[in-house]
Amino acid sequence: MALMITEDCTNCDACVEPCPNDAITAGDDIYVIDAFKCTECVGAEDEPQCMLVCPADCIVPNPEFEESEDELMAKYESLH
């Protein structure tokens, strides 16, 4: 499942660079994650790097995008 950023985002920018898929960008009020690019770092890392660096702990699973690990890997491979 893709991840999303909640309204608790402080716009610190820490999550942008670690994303291997360039899925995180600045939105109008907070940073946003493109669910069509987010693979939860499957294919690149063992765990979501954005969640590791987020000081506000505002990155959570997006319930609208439930995907298996195989689906996330296929998405990663299609992006790279």
Domain boundaries, the chain: 3-79
CA gap 71, 42 in Å, rounded: 10
pLDDT tens profile 49-70: 999 999 999 999 999 999 999 9
pLDDT band at 75 (very low <50, low <70, confident <90, very high): very high
Does CATH number 3.30.70.20 belong to domain 3-79?
Answer: yes
pLDDT for the residue 66: 92
Q: What is the mean pLDDT of the chain?
A: 97
pLDDT tens profile 11-24: 999 999 999 999 99
Give me the percent of the chain exceeding a pLDDT of 90: 98
